[in-house]
Each structure stands twice: as structure tokens, then as C-alpha cells.
Amino acid sequence: MVLEKLNSHMQKNENGPKSRSKEIIGALGDVEGVICRVCNLSLPFHGCLLDFGTCRTKPGQYCFKEYHIKGGISWYSTKGCTETQDECFKRRLIQDAIQTSHCCHRPLCNF
């Protein structure tokens, strides 16, 4: 679908190259960034207890959700915007607990 939009925008010649590049960027994603949920403590079946509202990503950033798992049970999670892509899709073992992170790039996808 994105490829179809990109092709249709590239074929239009009516407004010149600058206008076409803005249309192409609009077809591929929001230049302004994505709004993500920010929560410092979310418990399963209870939701966010320490809610900090939302954050907006900058270019190269994503929404993330980090899970803290102990004994096979998800104890809690945190949510927000990444600083770098390096924070995405990590898995760490700390003593007898696992921290795993997931990133996404759609509005409020880390809800």
C-alpha cells in the first residue's frame, strides 16, 4: 500500500519537485513524530499506575514498552519514547529476572 502511494505521488508532475517530495514524505509517515504513551509502572490486569501522559518521537526514535518478567510471570512494564534505536528489541537477564523491550512506530502503539 505504501509503495502504491509512493508511485502515485512520484508520477504527479503538476506542482514541481519540492511539492512532490513533501507528498512522498507524507505518504511514508508523519514527519512530526509519533505520540507514545509514557508510564513508569504498569501492572498486568491493572494498567498504568504511574502515568506521565505522552511523549512525541523525534526522527530515529520509536515508542517502546519494556517488560520485566520473573519466574515466567510478567510483573510490570514501562512505556515511553526511545532515545536511540539501540533500546529496541533487547533481552537482558538480571539475576533471576528477564527484561525485554519491544518498539513500534504507530501512534499510541505501546498502549
pLDDT digits (tens, 9 = 90+) for 31-72: 578 999 999 999 988 899 999 999 999 988 999 999 999 998
110 part of a folded domain: no
User: Residue 7: which domain range?
Assistant: 1-31
Amino acid at site 97: A
Name residues whose C-beta falls within 8 Å of residue 76's C-beta, 6 or more positions apart in sequence.
Answer: 41, 42, 43, 44, 68
109 part of a folded domain: no
**pLDDT value for 26:** 39
**pLDDT value for 86:** 86
**pLDDT value for 27:** 36
Instruction: Examine the domain organization and report whether 73 and 47 are in the same domain.
Output: yes
Q: Does the predicted model carry a pTM greater than 0.75? A: no
Instruction: Examine the domain organization and report whether 70 and 40 are in the same domain.
Output: yes
Please tell me the distance from the alpha carbon of residue 105 to that of residue 94, in angstroms, as a whole number: 28
Instruction: Examine the domain organization and report whether 57 and 17 are in the same domain.
Output: no
111 part of a folded domain: no
Instruction: Examine the domain organization and report whether 23 and 40 are in the same domain.
Output: no
28 C-beta neighbours (distance < 10 Å), count = 12
20 part of a folded domain: yes
Instruction: Examine the domain organization and report whether 67 and 25 are in the same domain.
Output: no
Instruction: Examine the domain organization and report whether 26 and 57 are in the same domain.
Output: no
The domain total for the chain is: 2
Please tell me the distance from the alpha carbon of residue 10 to that of residue 93, in angstroms, as a whole number: 47
Cell output for 68: 520485566
